[in-house]
Structure 1
């Protein structure tokens, strides 16, 4: 984990220390305490802006998850298929089939997202829930779908691409067929 992946511990620490030296400077009037207080407040702001500027591999994968889900909602089939590794023809066909069969509505949202980096940050495992309304045209079904997913990502040609898709039962976590209708 990158030190600044979560800036708040550093920000809060610098603010507390800055507050202590500000209090001392106000009560004793020492120039050194004023300078330390200003420096610590600047470090607090600096650690926050540093975190915003640095994007870790896990954060890149997290962003890709949101992009793929949004592309599914927007029915951008080529974009979704392109997010899957070119070597995974069966997965590309599966995604194409699923998006042809189903219409994912705007209320679909991602929650409970976690990303685990493996293989010296060249692979990633993302786990998340996606819940919302789905319509399946060939069976005239529209309803709420509670889904849980596990995607394996690999860096290819400078981009994160999906190399494995697992759909999990939202309650038990057991693997289930990707295109199976939810029972919720």
Structure 2
């Protein structure tokens, strides 16, 4: 039911590649902006201080906003996961195995900062019962195999302590 460490790891690599492509697109956009403003690389025909300030105030938010929006929008969309997760057939769900909200997906993204400390928060996904990384535990989310969720669609949802909606103990 839950996606294991290695599947999540490969999805993370795919998503990192996609984020790199998006970042590279920003570099190309910056180059085009240089050309439109009549500046060649290394040339100082215009006020370089003003140009650098403009680029700084555009670049920094973009490098923060783009990854956040990439993860939060896709994980809270009908896809229920990023393109990397989609490629591996895994989705992000809440404790009731439903699609997560944009707010929860955003919280999950920002909690990855904690998971990044020595990567321990990511590694624990290989050792927890429901394969949750630290950011999943904090955001109360799960990464599940999409096919397993579809196969269990006819079953009543299972809640965290093994109780079905109808009150039957498992």
Question: Relative contact order: is structure 1 or structure 2 higher (C-alpha 8 Å, sep ≥ 6)?
Answer: 2
Normalising by structure 2, what TM-score? 0.29
Please state which structure has a larger fraction of its residues in helix: 2
Please state which structure has a larger fraction of its residues in strand: 1
Normalising by structure 1, what TM-score? 0.28
